[in-house]
């Protein structure tokens, strides 16, 4: 059924908590087995916070991460609205379009002017 409060991702052989060195060793072994680039164990908290804040409220994420102060949680939640980023990028790369295309007579005149320089 559901996850228990003490369900662990990296547990000892009997399901117990691991000491810090054993935990890091298991993490590095799992990383290597999955052929993942090196990533600090602590970076997982940033990833979790950033993904969780997309779907949950700040107080829920704060509770899940075990933080007493919301400012601590804010350090782990790196998120901006995607629609806002997309609009800003589009604006930055938008090329101004001419108000109207020149007609053939104007094109010919510009070409002649360019040759006479």
Higher pLDDT, 70 or 16: 70
Region for 17 from its dihedrals, namely left if φ exceeds 0, alpha if ψ lies in -120 to 50, beta otherwise: beta
**Extents of the domains making up the chain:** 1-40, 42-115
Q: What is the mean pLDDT of residues 28-40?
A: 89
List the alpha helices (DSSP H) in the chain. Answer: 20-33, 43-55, 58-65, 70-76, 82-93, 104-115
How many Cβ atoms sit within 10 Å of the Cβ of residue 25? 13
1 pLDDT exceeds 50? no
Query: 62: exposed, middle or buried (C-beta count within 10 Å: 0-12, 13-18, 19+)?
Result: buried
Residue 61: the pLDDT is 93
pLDDT tens sequence across 55-103: 898 999 999 999 999 999 999 998 666 666 677 777 777 766 656 677 7
Determine what percent of the chain is predicted with pLDDT higher than 90. 21
């Amino acid at each position: 059924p559901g996850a228990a409060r003490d369900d662990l991702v990296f547990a000892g052989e009997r399901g117990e908590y691991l000491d810090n060195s054993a935990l890091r060793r298991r993490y590095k072994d799992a990383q290597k087995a999955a052929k993942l680039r090196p990533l600090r164990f602590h970076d997982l908290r940033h990833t979790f916070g950033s993904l969780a804040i997309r779907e949950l409220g700040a107080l829920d994420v704060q509770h899940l991460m075990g933080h007493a102060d919301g400012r601590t949680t804010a350090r782990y939640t790196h998120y901006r609205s995607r629609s806002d980023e997309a609009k800003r990028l589009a604006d930055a790369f938008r090329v101004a379009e001419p108000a109207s295309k020149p007609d053939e007579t104007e094109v010919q005149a510009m070409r002649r002017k360019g040759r006479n320089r």
